[in-house]
Homo-oligomer: A and B are copies of this chain.
């Protein structure tokens, strides 16, 4: 076999033990909160039928789906004309029937429709699995990354929206974040704003412009609106809405006035008010909740609430988002099933936690005790202690005899093992083993029983 310089494909990553420990800390925390709120885990296959995925992510998305080459003699069934004309697009479906999932949402919709008769609705599911996108890799953008989603289908209650906010608050608080904002908006408010200036057909242009308020200021927004064909009168009417000030309650009151002539706009206000009412009796731990009518993500599928979460402690884009969609499963023929969902941006949360040094030391500790032997005979003294430690659920290792003690202690340090027990001929004779606190350097001589008592 030729020797190959080993590497991983562009945009993919290995995760070392230290990285895995931190990633598990994030995922376990979020999963625990999902479960606490009644969400249950499912998994779907990594590969879906290509036809399940095609057409769900727009033309650009379709190109970014990783296709799997049919097994066996795939050219036998290939589109000859496409091959001859080197038409890759046309050839694809004749040599590829399967593809890697691009997100967790479409597979979830497929799951709900396929298993609708086994599911008790409302169905609250969470899913934490990798997805694949043939995007150009860059800092923070990978071709394989985990998504971390919770969705409920079959319940129109706004209690779900309120609970999503509580889930964000609880999970991010548990992860140690101390200052973050959960922004909420409602598609119906955006529809209302378009309606009052009689520009419902231009809602995308309108919301794209408003969404830039943070970056380009009101002046820039006005410029863009005018360019897109909005009139001065439109802009004058929009200005107070876009520049809403005050508390969430004050903003809502102003909005109600401005949207007084839009039934759908007022409905959006009512929905936001209902969510706030639910939250009034459930104090948030850390999050700042902010009604932000410039928030317009996912406008092509969200029909009600829209969420976005940002940390205020580090320069970082959104670390979470979601919303309500009324028509998720209709792409697979099941109509009228309303749903809502949220997602955690695990990779970004990881980066924020690294930057702020939020991972607890315990997240990185795996082995708690390493027993080191000066000589092979010591192993037989070590083994009963080792088994006792493990019987008390203490992660423990015995370094196989034969290596120099320095190498064994280096191993302990590399693995961040907090305690070592050293056994040499003195220790075998006296029955007193040397136990060392690797952090302080303190060491003492104790019997195996005393060591056990000290460490359990």
| A interface with B by C-beta (< 8 Å) | 1, 3-9, 12-17, 20-21, 24, 35-38, 40-49, 51-52, 55-56, 63-64, 66-69, 71-76, 78, 82-83, 86-88, 91-92, 95-98, 100, 110-111, 113-115, 118, 120, 122, 124-125, 130, 132, 134, 143-144, 155, 157, 159-160, 170, 278, 281-283, 330-333, 366-367, 370, 379-380, 383-384, 386-387, 390, 393-398, 400-402, 410-411, 414-415
Contacts and interface: CB of A to CB of B under 8 A. Distances in A.
Given A155-B400, A281-B380, 14 more contacts: A6-B110, A8-B49, A8-B114, A9-B45, A14-B43, A17-B41, A35-B395, A38-B395, A40-B415, A67-B68, A69-B95, A120-B410, A122-B411, A282-B384
A33 to B, nearest CB: 9
7 contacts: A1-B331, A4-B51, A4-B331, A38-B366, A63-B71, A122-B400, A283-B387
A6 B332 contact: yes
A197 B97 CA distance: 54
Contacts of A400: 122, 155, 157, 159-160
B68 A14 contact: no
B37 A15 contact: no
A143 B48 CA distance: 12
Given A44-B8, A52-B6, A83-B83, A68 B66 contact: yes
A82 to B, nearest CB: 8
Contact of A396 (B38, B44, B397, B401): B38
Given A69-B67, A92-B69, A398 B159 contact: yes
A3 B333 contact: yes
B86 A390 contact: no
Contacts of A118: 16
Most B Cβ at <10 Å: residue of A36, A118, A130: A36
A20 B46 contact: no
Nearest to A91: B75
A9 B281 contact: no
B14 A393 contact: no
A56 B2 CA distance: 11
Given A52-B6, A63-B72, A160-B400, A40 B278 contact: no
Given A41-B17, A332-B6, A75 B88 contact: yes
A13 B48 CA distance: 10
B47 A387 contact: no
A283 B38 CA distance: 41
Contacts of A82: 75
A370 B122 CA distance: 13
Most B Cβ at <10 Å: residue of A9, A44, A383, A410: A9
A379 B279 CA distance: 12
Nearest to A399: B122
A226 B22 CA distance: 59
Contacts of A130: 46
Most B Cβ at <10 Å: residue of A4, A44, A49, A82: A4
